[in-house]
Structure 1
Amino acid sequence: MDSTAIDRFEANRSRLASLAYRLLGSAADAEDAVQDVFLRWQTADREHVEVPEAWLTKVVTHLCLDRLRSAQARHERAAGDWLPEPLLEGDPMLGPAETFEQRESVSVAVLTLMERLSPLERAAYVLREAFSYPHAEIAQILDITESASQQHVHRARRRVTAERRGDEVDPVSARRIVEEFFAAAASGRTERLVAMLTADATAVSDGYGLASRLLRYTTRERVASYVRAGFKPTPQKRRLAGGTLVFHVALVNGSPAVIAVTNDRIVGAVAFEVRDGKVAALHGIAAADRLVHLNRTWQQHKPDAPVLSAW
């Protein structure tokens, strides 16, 4: 393959990775999909490809759809027992973030909600909301009619909007709320935690990657108890983590998050949804295979001072 063809692909790599990540919710799977596209680009009859960008977009989208429809993926994501792979602020895979819709489409909350959509609904929604494709182009990419594209986007948008729990808040305010919440959790003041939660607050956790199903909590009192127990230090937790933990507040997928680190290695992340100055939802991710990409970028990141350095 000549250098011009390679350069054309590389110019699209970040956009393709961002699209694949939104469709799959996994940085590792997104990277694999993009590599598969590159292999197909190598063997394609490129002289007959009129618009390379459109060709690459269609190929990566269909590769992702195949993955979403596979028996293995359906099993792994069954009954919602799946959480997306978190990405640190500034990660190129997060992609476009100029509009609210673009930022929302990559949040941990919306990526989790999109698991309830059909593969075609998810693809149409991402192409429209995150990449602003017109319905005519979405129809060509997905091999459906323009009317079907409109219907898929409408249904997806309605379901995502109906189930969202958080608002977009400025990073400074969000960080302050999360720091206060974390301070209350670390101090054991359960009543203060309850007061900082919305009436319909929820929490989801993968149980440090050890639970066979996601752990879910659906009342303020249960969420507060879960948070308090989770942040209470014990010798067993230190052994599980591999040492003494340090906690940082950072942005993950555009949302404030508490990052647990030991020996410069992330062992857990809790992403927060904030609404009306309170915490509306938490997503706890600690499965090692879900933190590989986050750890890779963390090594190049200069974190702020920890909110707790001797846990």
Structure 2
Amino acid sequence: MMPDVDDFEEHRPMLLGLAYRLLGSMWDAEDVVQEAWLRWQATDHDEIREPRAFLVTVVSRLALDQLRSARVKREAYTGPWLPEPVDTAEAGPLDTAELRDTVSYATLHMMERLSPPERAVFVLREAFELPYDEIAAIVGASVANARQLHHRASVRLAEGRDRFSPSSEEHAELLATFMRAAGGGDLAALTELLHEDVVSYNDGGGKVRAALRPVIGRDKVVAFLRGLVARYDFRGVRMLEVNGLPAAMTEVGGHRQLVMLDIRDGRISAIYGVLNPDKLAHVHVG
């Protein structure tokens, strides 16, 4: 007996959210979910006891395989590789704090530090609350090893994070203040907003001119922003919600740029500027 189409469609948003968290790319996530659909169609329904568990396993393993090959491509990427941002509405269910945290842009970026198995175990445990025995079976590890992978991932992701995240309103206010100060060239205000260890990441992908290396430290970031303001016009700032948090779309030198922030100790600890047009397809300005 063939599987019911409705069973798959019921789980599609969750599966897209899972694949996106594992890959940091909605394009790749959609490919993985499409491949999972083909496998679902080709499988005898009588052999599937739990459709959700079956599909989570298939998507996770497909994403793991793709992530291993993607890491090689990302190492050869022109400039810093940043995850592909998505409208919050496209990020899948966000019913829990863990689902929201693991889809936040800063978390996706930091998950690039993890090995593929660490990332899979962390996402499956934190976001989807799977028991360790199921996670171990998915990633091909022992239960003890799965626990160890989760611990390692948690420790690595906790480094430099703020235990107390600002509210969405506080985040939006800090972002708006930053955009006004940057666009107006107010260096004193910028300096006050930035954490001393702030890092600016700019992803042009070789298609739009952007810094080829992260800019590290408050003084260097202020100087970098001062140079941008002197060289380019910043136009039409629009606020929107991306990956569960406020973001700003603006135009810099005729190219769209999405700006997102990470905040630590009440100051901006990371600035993410996505200019590669291929990565802005899932961000819609109303």
| TM-score (ref. length: structure 2) | 0.90
Question: Residues 135 and 149 of structure 1 are in contact (CA less than 8 Å); yes or no, is this contact kept in structure 2?
Answer: yes
Work out which of the residue numbers 244, 256, 274 in structure 1 matches 2:263. 274
Counterpart for residue 215 of structure 2: 217
Q: 1:21 to 1:231 in 2, by over 3 A?
A: farther
Q: 1:249 to 1:112 in 2, by over 3 A?
A: same
1:13 maps to 2:12 = yes
Q: Residue 46 of structure 1: CA displacement?
A: 1.9
Question: Residues 207 and 215 of structure 1 are in contact (CA less than 8 Å); yes or no, is this contact kept in structure 2?
Answer: no
Counterpart for residue 52 of structure 1: 51
Greater mean alpha carbon deviation, residues 60-69 or residues 249-258: 249-258
Counterpart for residue 286 of structure 1: 275
Aligned length: 282
Q: Structure 1 CA distance, aligned partners of 2:86 and 2:100?
A: 13
Work out which of the residue numbers 108, 111, 119 in structure 2 matches 1:111. 108
Secondary structure of the residue that 1:32 maps to in structure 2?
helix
Q: Deviations over 1:246-277 (max 9, x none)?
A: 11122221233221269xx9821011112233
Q: 1:155 to 1:75 in 2, by over 3 A?
A: same
Q: 1:94 to 1:197 in 2, by over 3 A?
A: farther
Question: Residues 242 and 283 of structure 2 are in contact (CA less than 8 Å); yes or no, is this contact kept in structure 1?
Answer: no
Q: Residue 165 of structure 1: CA displacement?
A: 6.0
One-letter identity of the residue aligned with 1:270: V
Question: Residues 186 and 228 of structure 1 are in contact (CA less than 8 Å); yes or no, is this contact kept in structure 2?
Answer: no
Q: 1:48 to 1:30 in 2, by over 3 A?
A: same
Secondary structure of the residue that 2:4 maps to in structure 1?
helix
1:24 maps to 2:48 = no
Q: Residue 89 of structure 1: CA displacement?
A: 2.8
Gaps of 5+ in 2: none
Secondary structure of the residue that 1:202 maps to in structure 2?
strand
Superposition RMSD in Å = 2.5
Counterparts of residues 217-296 of structure 1 (less than 5 Å):
217-232=215-230, 234=232, 245-260=235-250, 267-295=256-284
State percent identity of aligned pairs: 37
Q: Structure 2 CA distance, aligned partners of 1:183 and 1:166?
A: 27
Q: Deviations over 1:138-171 (max 9, x none)?
A: 1122232111110110000000001436852112
Q: Structure 2 CA distance, aligned partners of 1:82 and 1:165?
A: 23
Greater mean alpha carbon deviation, residues 277-286 or residues 158-167: 158-167
Gaps of 5+ in 1: 239-244, 302-311
| TM-score (ref. length: structure 1) | 0.83
Secondary structure of the residue that 1:246 maps to in structure 2?
strand
Q: 1:167 to 1:222 in 2, by over 3 A?
A: farther
Q: Residue 212 of structure 1: CA displacement?
A: 8.7
Secondary structure of the residue that 1:215 maps to in structure 2?
coil
Counterpart for residue 154 of structure 2: 157
Q: 1:29 to 1:180 in 2, by over 3 A?
A: same
Q: Structure 2 CA distance, aligned partners of 1:153 and 1:54?
A: 20
Q: Structure 1 CA distance, aligned partners of 2:84 and 2:101?
A: 15
Question: Residues 110 and 164 of structure 1 are in contact (CA less than 8 Å); yes or no, is this contact kept in structure 2?
Answer: no
Secondary structure of the residue that 1:225 maps to in structure 2?
helix
Q: Structure 1 CA distance, aligned partners of 2:173 and 2:33?
A: 37
Q: Residue 219 of structure 1: CA displacement?
A: 1.2
Q: 1:139 to 1:69 in 2, by over 3 A?
A: same
Q: Structure 1 CA distance, aligned partners of 2:210 and 2:166?
A: 34
Counterpart for residue 96 of structure 2: 98
Q: Structure 2 CA distance, aligned partners of 1:214 and 1:254?
A: 27
Greater mean alpha carbon deviation, residues 122-131 or residues 168-177: 168-177
